[in-house]
Structures are given as structure tokens and as C-alpha cells.
Structure 1
């Protein structure tokens, strides 16, 4: 009867079959269906091959995504964890990330924490498993309790840095500092490089760049006890802090130290330098660094291109900004050499679109606008108004009407009223105000 009721409840959902199958396979609910013959009510054979287990995990993810009852989400995953036919279920980070995020959004962080505690209890203790679980706990206090309760074999710099990162995400910077300071005495783990890098990040985030620099110097000074040698991540963190503060002397000096220590710059190092040039109004020098990155096979990311596009727009150079944007769209990722370009941040579209409209670069502005439409995103209303007016003025009223029609379809909810006011101010081909259908 339980299976029948569940089938009725979920019959309208596309994932209903997967949900019911997973309940049968992983839960204690009886497999009873009065409408079926006895031969048809046998529980399906447990997955045995690797591919079958992967399929079962995928089905479980679909069921979790489809379910709106937090108790059932917890039951599905918890039952699967105890299933001996899925011995490596605990390695599926995607599944547990999905389940815990769903439970948190459904306002049941207690069930998310419970599931992660069961995850840790379901497999031999390891620093990697503990670190993954700590990164998923809905709150830092849950993460701290899990770390404190973990066996010594699971405690390492890797898992401890995950605990510090949980405190950092929650903005608990003072707790992070005190936890770091007492790690060895109270938690039995000596902070190494990964943990020091999290502390550096926390100090920079809290605008304590001088303290971060002092810590970095202690790490670089091999005579200071208990301080690990810094890596490029350590230097990049402090470099970013100098950039935010506009400290040119500190920024340049740290760059020289990176070079003197023969540390290989990576994408974050280059991004810091590009952002620095853009801030100084010297974006063209930043674009030269983009060529250096590619010659050294350092793959740029969206932050690289965003800094260049926004830097050029700030300087009023929309031509180079558009060139960089198109270069970003066609750049092949280094990983796997796929044909996918780097994705721009939404703010990049906004800045570039507004700049192009202001400079009356209608063709490029229309291209950006259509790119936003393809992503089902509505560009800034005022900029769209400027584009539409520019198109009408140039005798391109049909294109202007198409833009308005697309916006009418995309704008939803409370924003429709604001967009309607914009449309009411527009004059299209016949000179009459357009109407919002």
C-alpha cells in the first residue's frame, strides 16, 4: 500500500518512476502493489556492475531533485548509504552536495547535518572524506562538531583547512583566528600550508593586509618555527589585498619577491596584475599580459576577461572592449581543448552593453543584447531604451520592435511594471508610443 500511495502521489512528476524505484531499492518500505501479479512485485536485483551502480546513483540524484519532502530526501540518501550493494556511494560528492543544498533550502539544516554525520560514519575515516563533508555542512558549528568528533586518522591540514573555510564563509573571522591558534592543543592538528593560506585569506578579507603580510613573511622565513613555506597561492592572496587597497609599493614589491623566489605565476597572479593595470587606466598593458598568459599556456578565466572589458569600458574604449569580449567567446578551454568559450560574468554584459549604447555602437550593442536574450536574461532597461531609440533614429524600426517584443517576453513579475513605463516612453516607426502586449 505504501508503494501504491507513493506512485499515486508522484505519478505526475517526470522523475516519479525513478523515485519509486529508488524507494524500493534503498528503503525498508514493503514492495506491495495490489494491482500487480506476485511475479511482478519482486524487488529488483541490486546493482552489481560499476555501470549499474553509477546508474543507481544517477537515479538517486534524480529522485532527490524531484522530491519536495525533506524527510523523504533524508530517508532516500540515508537508506542508500546503508545499502551494501553501493559500497562507494560516499565518494559521490555531487549527490551529497545536491541533497544537503536541497535540505538547507527546504529549511531543514538539521537533516542536512544528520545526513553528513551518517556519511562520515559510513566509510573508513580519511582527511579527504572529512574535508568534503565539512565543506557541505550548513553551518560552521556543525562542521566544528564534526571535526571535533572525528578520529585522529581523519584530522590533517586538508580537513582542518576545510573547517577554517567553513568559518570563513560564515564570516566568523575571530572564531577562525582562535580556532587556528589553538588547533594543536585543542584539536590535535598542526596547521600547515593549506590552513595558513585560509588564514591569509581571512586576514585580507578583513582588510588586515599588514597582518597578512607579516604572516607571509614569517612563512617565508625558514627560521620561524611552525610556519610552512609559502606557495604561489600564499603570495597571490596578499597580492590581491594590496590591489584592493591600492598599495602600489606593496604590490610591486611582492611581485618582485614572487619572481625572486622563482614561483611560477598562475591565473590568479596574472588576474591581479591585469586588474591593477585596469584600475590605473592602463588596460592595454593588461591585454598584453593576456598574450603572455597564452604563450605560457596559462588558461585565462572569466575574471581575466572581465577585468579587461570593464577596464576598457571605464576608459571609454569600447572598440578594444568588444575585441576582448569576442576573443573571450571564441577562446578554447585548455582542459580537454573543448570548443566552449569562457563564460562572461553578467556584470560584464551589463557594463559592455551600456558602454556600447552610450557610444552609439548599435551593431555591437544589438549583438550583445541578442546574446542576453539567448541566455533568457533581460539587459538593463535604460540601456535597452537607448538601443531602441538609436535603432529607430537610424531607420531600423523593425529591429527596434523585435527588441521590445523580446523584452516583453522575458520580463516577469514586478519588473513588468517598470519595463512597461520604459515602453510607454518609446516611439517606434510611426511615432506613436508602443504598447506592452
Structure 2
């Protein structure tokens, strides 16, 4: 049973519903805050409001959208803000548009989500950046294609084309990706560049067309083929990951050598591919050595890095090493000194490690991991919790066992509560006469 992550939800602001025409939220997080097509010569007025006061109505609108359950009302809130002259450059606020469109899609009104994005594109001068941002938020690839096809030439570039291709990729429409790339220049006046080709590579690998992906990568690396852009480390990483998935050792090692020969700087994805490769082969210790190399080169590991190492060591039965890596991750998180930096453990890391600790009857470490999940408002896998509770009772630690059950009762919600109730019904807190404290 998968873990049930339950994060705290922000309480709805009491003034939120009244902020009908307030603007959107901070900047587009994944792309530049300021649209590259906008004029940078505008002189700020002396009476410009402070950033805090300027953001207040924007935050109010975000809270209003989050609290609203009426799709029409959500659309009206954001549409009114877009048409207001009181909030210039509202179109640069990705976070609220992402929130609004996702809320509308979940409320089964993708038509209203698409309508909002159409209004977004009409609210500012056309630019590739703005179009790419909007295309990434459309609820379906057909709406994204319509928006791209009807966009002015100034908004079309490899960036926006790759955003359209990514929409097809999310929908699993590989044939549309191939046809769009082949017709991009004749139909849309855009020569597909590196970003678009990287999406195509990703689609091929995802569709198990590894030989075709490798052929395309070779064509990109062939400087004589002018219609193919030069590959970057992302291009190579995409195919490298494909070789890893298919356990193609020859292709994997050969591509690693090409990365080195082409003087491409490995990034975190490159290292993660190699670490995952070692972990799958039962050589996780070599993967951990790469972690040291990453740190020496200033390449920050992410949760996938540690997840591969923890899973690898657990698979090998080396629970001590798995705990060492896990604690190393926690230390790195604290060393950064900021909650939004460093590495946060993914739920899967906790699940794998917790299960292994329970199986090996490492009760103290398992209890620590379990309590860490509770601190994050997360309910660990039921069968592993059951094993922990039974182990604690067997070790004459019934008080701790009952505390675990009580915290689970508090965390588990909805349909999962019934399943957890069945688990509790199978538990016994009676300690055997021969049990003793460890």
C-alpha cells in the first residue's frame, strides 16, 4: 500500500471572497519573472508601492481561488483581474494561473481553464515565453495546438514549439510529436531546435524506441546535418536513461564515453543515471562514491540521488548503509540552512527504508523513521506499521506500539480509514510472558 502524504493546508483568508478583482500571484517560477518581450526601459514612478503592499491583493486572489468551489466564480475572479488596469503585468504570474487552471480541471471544467489561458495570451504582447507558459498549462493537447496555431508569428519559437510537443508527450501522442516536428517549418515557420528535439528524444525513449532515439542523437551530433541541432547534456541524459531502463550495458557505457569525449559537463541527471545503474547491479557502494564526486564538483544531489542509494542498499540487505545515506541526506538538508534548499526526502525513500527496517527487526530505527513520517503528517504503509507494532509488542514495548496506532488513527482519513481499521483489528497488545526489553 502506498504512503498517504498529508500536508498542512493553508486556511482560507477571511477577506478572500471579497477580493473579487484582485490580481494574480508572484512570478512564473520555472521561467523568468519578466517576460523577455516586454520593454525594459520603463521608468518606475516614485510613488510605486512596496513589494509587500503590491502583493497583498494578489495573495488575496490566490486565497480566493483556492477557497472557491464554483468553477464559474474562479473564472470570473481571474478574468476580472486580467482586465483590470490596476495590476500591470499580471500575465507574468504563473503560480496563480497554474492554481486556477488546475482547480478548474479538477472541477471538471477544462473549457473554463482553456478560456482563462486564452484570455492570458490576449492580455499582453505576444512572446515565445508567454506562449510557452500558457501551453504548459492547457488541460489538453488539442487546446494547446489550437493556441499555438492561432498565435502570431512573433510568439512562435523553438521554446513555444517544445511546450506544444510536451503537451503531446503528456498525452502519449508520439505520432503527433513526430508530425508536428516534420511540418513545423512549412506549417508554422519554425525550425525545430534543440529543445524540440529533446522532447522528441524523450518521447522515443518513453515509447521504447531506443534505437530510433540513438539514431536521432547521432544525427544531432553530426555537424554536417544542418537540419539537426547540436545535442546538449539533456539530449545525452535522455538516451542514457533509456539504456539504463533496458539494462543495455554496452549502450550505456558507450554513451558515457561519448559524453566525456564531447566535453559535456555531467549534471545531476547524468550522475543519477549512473548511481541508479550501480544500484540495480548490486554495486551501490560505487554509486555512493559518485555522491562524493558530485559534491566535489559542486553538483547538488536531489531526492532521486538518495532514493537510488537507499533502495540499492535495502535491496542488497545492507540496512546499515541505507541508514547512513539517509542520515547523510538529512545532514545536507540542515547544512543548507534554508527550508527551500537542500534535499527533502521523497516519500518513497521513507517507504523503502521503513519496510526494510521492519523486516530486519531494527525497531529503534524503524520507529524513528515512522515518527519522522508522522512529523510530516504522513501515514506510512499499513503493512509496515503493522509489522512495527507487532515487533514493539513482542519486545515488551506496548506503550510505544499503542502510541504509533494512536497517531495513525489521527492521520488516516477518508476511505483509507476503513482499511486501517481492519489492520488494527488484527493487532494484539498483550505481551508474552517470555518477552523482555532489548
For the aligned pair, the TM-score class normalised by the smaller chain equals 0.7 to 0.9
Q: Name the residue aligned to 1:31.
A: none
Name the CA distance, whole Å, in 2 between partners of 1:323 and 1:83: 55
Q: Name the residue aligned to 1:363.
A: 364
Name the CA distance, whole Å, in 2 between partners of 1:110 and 1:417: 36
Q: Name the residue aligned to 1:22.
A: 20
Name the CA distance, whole Å, in 2 between partners of 1:219 and 1:14: 51
Deviation digits for residues 341-372 of structure 1 (CA, Å, limit 9, x no counterpart): 52222222111111111111111000011111
What's the CA shift for 1:420?
2.9
Unmatched segments (≥5 aa) in structure 2: 1-10, 25-47, 434-438
Q: Tell me, what secondary structure is at the counterpart of 1:85?
A: coil
User: Closer, same or farther in 2 for the Cα pair 1:23/1:80, shift >3 Å?
Assistant: closer
**Which structure: greater helix fraction?**
1
What's the CA shift for 1:85?
1.8
What's the CA shift for 1:290?
0.4
Q: Name the residue aligned to 1:40.
A: none
Map 1:100-249 to 2 at 5 A.
Answer: 100-249=101-250
Q: TM-score, normalised by structure 1?
A: 0.87
User: Closer, same or farther in 2 for the Cα pair 1:52/1:408, shift >3 Å?
Assistant: closer
Name the CA distance, whole Å, in 1 between partners of 2:180 and 2:105: 25
User: Closer, same or farther in 2 for the Cα pair 1:335/1:182, shift >3 Å?
Assistant: farther
User: Closer, same or farther in 2 for the Cα pair 1:222/1:333, shift >3 Å?
Assistant: farther
Of 400-409 and 196-205, deviating more is 400-409
Deviation digits for residues 136-174 of structure 1 (CA, Å, limit 9, x no counterpart): 001100000100111111100000000000110111111
Residues 1:352 and 2:353 are matched in the alignment? yes
Residues 1:57 and 2:48 are matched in the alignment? no
Map 1:368-379 to 2 at 5 A.
Answer: 368-379=369-380
Are the counterparts in 1 of residues 22 and 61 from structure 2 also a CA contact under 8 Å?
no
Q: Name the residue aligned to 2:386.
A: 385
Are the counterparts in 1 of residues 276 and 287 from structure 2 also a CA contact under 8 Å?
yes
User: Closer, same or farther in 2 for the Cα pair 1:194/1:25, shift >3 Å?
Assistant: closer
Name the CA distance, whole Å, in 1 between partners of 2:348 and 2:23: 46
Residues 1:271 and 2:272 are matched in the alignment? yes
Q: Name the residue aligned to 1:259.
A: 260
Q: TM-score, normalised by structure 2?
A: 0.87
User: Closer, same or farther in 2 for the Cα pair 1:260/1:333, shift >3 Å?
Assistant: farther
Name the CA distance, whole Å, in 2 between partners of 1:333 and 1:216: 40
User: Closer, same or farther in 2 for the Cα pair 1:276/1:60, shift >3 Å?
Assistant: same
The higher radius of gyration belongs to 1
CA RMSD, Structure 1 to Structure 2 (Å): 2.2
Name the CA distance, whole Å, in 2 between partners of 1:408 and 1:52: 42
Are the counterparts in 2 of residues 116 and 137 from structure 1 also a CA contact under 8 Å?
yes
